[in-house]
Amino acid sequence: MTHQWHDAYRHASTPAHHLDPRSKLFAGLAFVGTVLCTRHWGSLQVAGYPVLLIAAIILARLSPLALSRRILGILPFALLMLLSAVFSRLSYAHVVEALLKAVLSVAAMALFSMTTPFPDLLRALEQCRVPRKLVMFLAFLYRYAAVLGKEVVRAERGWASRTFGRFWWREWSRAGHVLAALLIRSYERAERVYAAMLARGFSSRMPAMHLLHFGIGDLVFIGLSSGLLCLVRWGRF
Amino acid sequence: MAVALEVRHLSFHYPDGTAALHDVSLRVEEGERVAVIGPNGAGKSTLFFHLNGTFRGEGEIIVRGRPLTDKTLYEVRRTVGLVFQDPNDQLFMPTVFEDVAFGPMNLGCSETDVRDRVLRALKQVGMEGSEALIPHHLSLGERKKVALASVLALEPAILAFDEPSSGLDPRSRRALIEFLKSLPQTILIATHDLDLVLDLCRRAVIIDAGRIVYEGKVPQIFDQESLLKSHGLEKPLKLQR
């Protein structure tokens, strides 16, 4: 069994992991939407939104370190934002507000991806009537990113074993050959995958099954999270 | 004995003009296990892609008495299960359950029937409990088993395996041989693994450069060292001692 770089999911048995992905997706998007639409940041909002997130992190028994690593992924974008703020002469308060919105939104989505297996997210999207072709595209991307990733690693090893320690920038022009080879291999694999689909009766429509279960717990979760979110957004001290 | 599968004068050219099969004829009886052996690029996989209509060449394919045509295509695909060499090509869905369920869902089975078929097929290959797993988290041996389950879930009468033992360690290979022996279906195996052929099949055909060059009983073929050598093959290790 191997772990893949593109799998954010951390397995545990907590209420957060057992919720229907649709309810988590709804709560996550509601949180992001509310945070982004908050114009005036009082002390309740500045403290309330992070507290809601921290409560969710505790409930999901996630390591804050693992979550921080995922949030750090937006650091380059945040720096870019700061740089643009310097040139556009935005006020300090506006920059902090934008940064806070970005960090909170990314943290909420990271929390969602760490408690929801990607296949469950796909099922949730499918049942939320996201176009089936788009869902299938994401499913193939997820499935074959791992396969392609392994091929890249093998190509890198082959490259390293024949460049004898020469600096990569001297050989960069040949990287195009490696990329071209990977592209051709992917194309050929796509043909074989399509053949495998045909061999199992595929015509033109992807069949779907209802594998999710929306229970009372999900209803309670949605009600509670929406209530708390409204309280933080519109509440007054 | 009834004929399970018949290939008559099959020829096929790839779109770039490469001739892959020339006038191939083959007859397999119900319950038979037949090996298709030959060097790399001989046309074994191309032949197998024709058996369920994935590729369509010139000539005739008759599956259980019914010629393969546009009208019978889906029925033929239901009858002939093709297990690919690389399970990464065959397992394209995000979870094991969805992958094994893909075929039965395309057949139009009800959700209860799909679940039953998936659980039964996974149990048959010893992968019960793996329904929620993600294919790229499995080892090669496990992926091969799931790929086999994905075909068994269609309940085909004929199974065609393309290099089933490639990449397997000796224990997994042995387990695979025992498993294949236990299957009641008509089986065709394209392979280089002649020891596997010796263990499993009574009859074999040698294919080279897209032509069937020899057909006979397995011991008879393996006795002819010069024949094997001339077609890039070698006597099984078991017979070399």
The three-state DSSP-derived secondary structure of chain B is: CCEEEEEEEEEEECCCCCEEEEEEEEEEECCCEEEEECCCCCCHHHHHHHHCCCCCCEEEEEECCEECCCCCHHHHHHHEEEECCCHHHHCCCCCHHHHHHHHHHHCCCCHHHHHHHHHHHHHHCCCCCCCCCCHHHCCHHHHHHHHHHHHHCCCCCEEEEECCCCCCCHHHHHHHHHHHHHCCCEEEEEECCHHHHHHHCCEEEEEECCEEEEEEEHHHHHCCHHHHHHCCCCCCHHHHC
| Amino acid of residue B184 | P
Q: Which of B160, B136, B37 is nearest to B87 (CA)?
A: B136
Burial of A11 (0-12, 13-18, 19+ CB in 10 A): exposed
Q: Which of B68, B106, B118, B163 to mutate to test the interface with A (most CBs of A within 10 A)?
A: B106
- Is the minimum CB–CB distance between B49 and chain A shorter than 8 Å? yes
Q: What angle do CA B232, B235, B236 make, to 5 degrees?
A: 120
- Is the minimum CB–CB distance between A122 and chain B shorter than 8 Å? yes
A128 vs A131: CA distance, rounded Å: 9
Q: For each of chain B's 241 residues, which pLDDT tens digit applies? A: 799 999 999 999 988 888 899 999 999 999 999 999 999 989 999 999 999 898 999 999 999 999 999 999 988 999 999 999 999 999 999 899 999 999 999 888 899 999 999 999 999 999 999 998 988 889 989 999 999 999 999 999 999 999 999 888 899 899 999 999 999 999 999 998 899 999 999 999 999 999 999 999 999 999 998 999 999 888 888 887 6
B104 Cα to chain A: minimum distance (Å): 8
What is the pLDDT at residue B43? 93
Which residues are paired to B28 by β-bridges? B5
What is the pLDDT at residue A2? 45
How many Cβ atoms sit within 10 Å of the Cβ of residue A142?
19
Question: What is the DSSP secondary structure assignment for residue A170, as one 8-state letter?
Answer: G
Pairing of strands B158-162, B80-83: parallel
N- to C-terminal Cα distance for chain B? 36
Question: Is it the case that residue A209 has pLDDT exceeding 80?
Answer: no
In angstroms, the Cα distances linking A86 to A89, A94, B199 are 5, 11, 75
Q: pLDDT class for A214, splitting at 50, 70, 90?
A: confident
Cβ contact (<8 Å) for A197 and B102?
yes
In angstroms, the Cα distances linking B138 to A28, B132, B143, B146, B147 are 30, 12, 6, 9, 11
Cβ contact (<8 Å) for B150 and A198?
no
Neighbour order of strands in the sheet with B33-37:
B80-83, B158-162, B186-191, B33-37, B203-208, B211-217
- Tokens 């038979």 belong to residue: B32
A109 Cα to chain B: minimum distance (Å): 20
Q: Which of B80, B171, B81, B89 is nearest to B126 (CA)?
A: B171
Residue of B nearest to A186 (CA): B89
What is the pLDDT at residue B117? 96
Cβ contact (<8 Å) for A2 and B136?
yes
| Amino acid of residue A134 | L
B211 Cα to chain A: minimum distance (Å): 23
Contacts of B90 in chain A (CB under 8 A): 196
B125 vs B194: CA distance, rounded Å: 23
Q: And the tokens for A60?
A: 């999901």
Cβ contact (<8 Å) for B92 and A193?
yes
Cβ contact (<8 Å) for B150 and A211?
no
Contacts of A189 in chain B (CB under 8 A): 88-89
Which residues are paired to B158 by β-bridges? B80, B186
Q: And the tokens for A41?
A: 């940041």
Count Cα neighbours of A227 within 13 Å in the Cβ-side half-sphere: 6
What is the pLDDT at residue A82? 75
What is the pLDDT at residue A170? 63
Of A45-49, A74-78, A109-113, the least confident: A74-78
Measured over the CA atoms of residue A221, residue A227, residue A228 and residue A233, the dihedral's sign is positive
Measured over the CA atoms of residue A138, residue A142, residue A147 and residue A153, the dihedral's sign is positive
Q: pLDDT class for A146, splitting at 50, 70, 90?
A: confident
Contact predicate B62/B6, CB 8 Å: yes
Question: Is it the case that residue A166 has pLDDT exceeding 70?
Answer: no
B226-231's contacts with Cβ under 8 Å and 24+ in sequence apart are B231/B38, B231/B39, B231/B42, B231/B206
Domain positions in chain B: 90-156
Count Cα neighbours of B8 within 13 Å in the Cβ-side half-sphere: 10
Strand, helix or coil for residue A22? helix
Cβ contact (<8 Å) for B94 and A139?
yes
A10 vs A67: CA distance, rounded Å: 10
What is the pLDDT at residue B16? 85
B94 vs A118: CA distance, rounded Å: 8
Strand, helix or coil for residue A8? coil
Cβ contact (<8 Å) for B132 and A117?
yes
- Angular region, A3: left φ>0, alpha ψ -120 to 50, beta rest: beta
What is the pLDDT at residue B127? 94
